[in-house]
Structure 1
């Protein structure tokens, strides 16, 4: 129903010229059952996190060490998951990988294989590296599906409780119904023309604020052709749908209230907010699948975390003392 998504390595040393101290650039950092994790792997995997952290605030040795130890824990978990996948004979075929790559291209609107290669290159990743990462992810997903997700249930009452506790999340945005009267001013209009337009606009504004029919005023004075037909009706819209200057004014109005004169690059506007329409709560049935996915995902993450801890507790994990190299 759902779609879901050893030989021992010798320690490598690069030696400085004779008489200088040797600098270790690779060593065994941990042994996970029969597999090893090297210092080189940790440093390679830690680079993105180290760069990102350094950009926010320069890292000291303790900060760098903390990130590397976090990466080591992640690599240990990754090894254990890979070993379990092998134990269960989980394999992802070439056709599945090809289909997954096509899905990625479609979802990210990547038009061609060349465009994908370019996007990968910009991130410093080769196609073969990306393909291997994708295969890893698919194997992990299948393993998680077997070991974790298949054991998770989401009940109707659980979904309803979540819905009631998160009604704000399932309430539509407030919307607004407004009208306007528009006085056009070109960007090269002389001062005298601007003065005349403002004088007329202020006269109409006074009439609108006195309670005169706003739609009638729009039909008589507005320089928006559509407004002369529909009385300046802007329709119903939500936050983000209008020019920032007009939206800011409308958001501050009460239903039935007329704004002051609003200036935009196009000219002057008088706005009347006809109605604030309170957002409706979406019916439970219309968001039920979304809620089920949310709860299911959270349970999967929690269950996977617990499963990974159990996997590690049963494994032979030896972390080497690298004397400050981490």
Structure 2
């Protein structure tokens, strides 16, 4: 089910839009026959409708009743606060929901101590609040400028992602809805967030497409400056006779240090027999099948090709890379056990040609330029934005996180 959730929310990854935005779209109809139409709301009005600005410190209850979007307030949230960004609002649940897993991990890392939890949670909340603020600013601009054709294209993409999500839930809409509920959201919110994320993506690409230029010279310079990134990894295939100490610990034997010493002694005797068999010329695979107690013993000790730093016992891997193909190592002792390794195949790393990675480099440079232009644009939008209630909002958000994650 977690896999389904990842697929269902894939559209939100582009800009991380887990929050609730105003400006949700109307008229998107789920394709399956069992579902009804999406809940309808009015599309935002003209770009500059000359609205009456809300009071500087809006009453949360009044805000929830009159705002042009729905504010979800979970029962756990006992104190209300909103952050006003121009004529839009951000709520505490919007900020806490995207970072819920990080806050849960912080609860364990802090040992449940508020003095350790609070400052780290405050930093997370400040970061996510900034993200939400940027999304609100971008969405408002997108709503002003997207054409009807672009809006229809976004509607179609939302339906496409929705169909895939339902299919991954067994083809049953109610199963997908139940999954969303487990994730702390609902179908209407999921739809609104997905539409908003795609709208922002479309707008940003449209806004800066003509200003992005990547030349062959730029790509070649990037290739030379990052040559190590464009090399294939050196890989090795090992055949191993393994004697983990834990496999020699007797179930009914002495425990503790004495039990470990006896296990080490038995492992040494066991590997001495294996080494003697190799010395007599017995095939390495036959010896591995008989003596190895590692996970690949049934495959005559043969492991698949591996890159460096992939094998748990680093000394074994180092020996395999250091020796020639077909060579057998001496007995290797590690804290976990004893090993003999044979190098079956080694594939040296090679530089990938510029022609093969040119398309990849072009995409990277375009994304870099797009990100830079987006950041400049956000800086301009932030400089013109009016943010009201920030101090109280952050205080309430942190207090709410403490109550939700530290207090039963």
TM-score normalized by the length of structure 1: 0.66
Match of 1:138 in 2: 198
Matched, 1:204 2:204: no
User: Are the equivalent residues in 2 in contact too, given 1:201–1:268 (CA < 8 A)?
Assistant: no
Matched, 1:239 2:292: no
- TM-superposed CA distance for 1:116, in Å, is 3.7
In 2, the alpha carbon distance for the partners of 1:142 and 1:249 equals 51
In 1, the alpha carbon distance for the partners of 2:146 and 2:302 equals 62
- TM-superposed CA distance for 1:137, in Å, is 0.6
- TM-superposed CA distance for 1:87, in Å, is 2.2
Query: 1:126 and 1:198, CA in 2 relative to 1: closer, same or farther beyond 3 A?
Result: same
Match of 1:260 in 2: 331
Match of 1:83 in 2: 140
Aligned to 1:176, the other structure's residue is in SS state strand
Match of 2:59 in 1: 12
Aligned to 1:30, the other structure's residue is in SS state strand
Aligned to 1:172, the other structure's residue is in SS state coil
Aligned to 1:148, the other structure's residue is in SS state helix
- TM-superposed CA distance for 1:303, in Å, is 0.6
Query: 1:111 and 1:301, CA in 2 relative to 1: closer, same or farther beyond 3 A?
Result: farther
Alignment gaps of 5+ in structure 2: 1-13, 15-50, 62-77, 111-115, 251-261, 291-299, 395-408
In the TM superposition, what are the counterparts of 1:133-212 in structure 2 within 5 Å?
133-179=193-239, 198-205=271-278, 207=279
Give 1 or 2 for the bigger CA radius of gyration.
Answer: 1
In 1, the alpha carbon distance for the partners of 2:211 and 2:88 equals 31
Match of 1:218 in 2: 283
Query: 1:69 and 1:202, CA in 2 relative to 1: closer, same or farther beyond 3 A?
Result: closer
- TM-superposed CA distance for 1:141, in Å, is 0.8
Query: 1:182 and 1:117, CA in 2 relative to 1: closer, same or farther beyond 3 A?
Result: same
User: Are the equivalent residues in 2 in contact too, given 1:262–1:270 (CA < 8 A)?
Assistant: no
Match of 2:26 in 1: none
In 2, the alpha carbon distance for the partners of 1:181 and 1:306 equals 58
In 1, the alpha carbon distance for the partners of 2:235 and 2:203 equals 46
User: Which of these residues, 67, 80, 84, is aligned with residue 25 of structure 1?
Assistant: 80
Query: 1:7 and 1:99, CA in 2 relative to 1: closer, same or farther beyond 3 A?
Result: farther
Match of 1:17 in 2: none
Aligned to 2:352, the other structure's residue is in SS state coil
TM-score normalized by the length of structure 2: 0.55
Query: 1:97 and 1:157, CA in 2 relative to 1: closer, same or farther beyond 3 A?
Result: same
Query: 1:133 and 1:278, CA in 2 relative to 1: closer, same or farther beyond 3 A?
Result: same
User: Are the equivalent residues in 1 in contact too, given 2:239–2:302 (CA < 8 A)?
Assistant: yes
Q: Deviations over 1:275-299 (max 9, x none)?
A: 6542112222222222222221121
User: Are the equivalent residues in 1 in contact too, given 2:230–2:352 (CA < 8 A)?
Assistant: yes
Match of 2:117 in 1: 58
In 2, the alpha carbon distance for the partners of 1:94 and 1:220 equals 60
In 2, the alpha carbon distance for the partners of 1:139 and 1:36 equals 17
Query: 1:111 and 1:172, CA in 2 relative to 1: closer, same or farther beyond 3 A?
Result: farther
In the TM superposition, what are the counterparts of 1:114-133 in structure 2 within 5 Å?
114=174, 116-133=176-193
Matched, 1:36 2:106: no
In 1, the alpha carbon distance for the partners of 2:184 and 2:267 equals 56
User: Are the equivalent residues in 2 in contact too, given 1:178–1:235 (CA < 8 A)?
Assistant: yes
Name whichever structure is richer in strand by fraction.
1
User: Are the equivalent residues in 1 in contact too, given 2:241–2:340 (CA < 8 A)?
Assistant: yes
Aligned to 1:83, the other structure's residue is in SS state helix
Q: Deviations over 1:219-238 (max 9, x none)?
A: 7963649xxxxxx7948721
- TM-superposed CA distance for 1:133, in Å, is 0.3
How many matched pairs? 288
Alignment gaps of 5+ in structure 1: 15-22, 226-231
In 2, the alpha carbon distance for the partners of 1:77 and 1:169 equals 32
Query: 1:287 and 1:115, CA in 2 relative to 1: closer, same or farther beyond 3 A?
Result: farther
